Amino acid sequence: MTTTIAGVAGRAEETGAAASQVLSASSELSRQSEHLTAEVARFPATVRAARDRVVPGRSGERS
* pLDDT single digits (tens) 24-41: 999 999 999 999 999 999
User: What is the pLDDT, as a whole number, of residue 55?
Assistant: 79
Using alpha carbons, list the distances in angstroms from residue 42 to 5, 38, 47, 62: 56, 6, 9, 17
User: What is the pLDDT, as a whole number, of residue 59?
Assistant: 59
Number of CB atoms found within 10 A of residue 51's CB: 13
**Measured between alpha carbons, how far is 63 from 48 in angstroms, rounded to an integer?**
11
What is the pTM assigned to this prediction?
0.62
**Measured between alpha carbons, how far is 5 from 62 in angstroms, rounded to an integer?**
69
> Over the chain (63 residues), what is each successive 10-residue block's mean pLDDT?
89 97 98 98 94 76 55
User: What is the pLDDT, as a whole number, of residue 1?
Assistant: 77
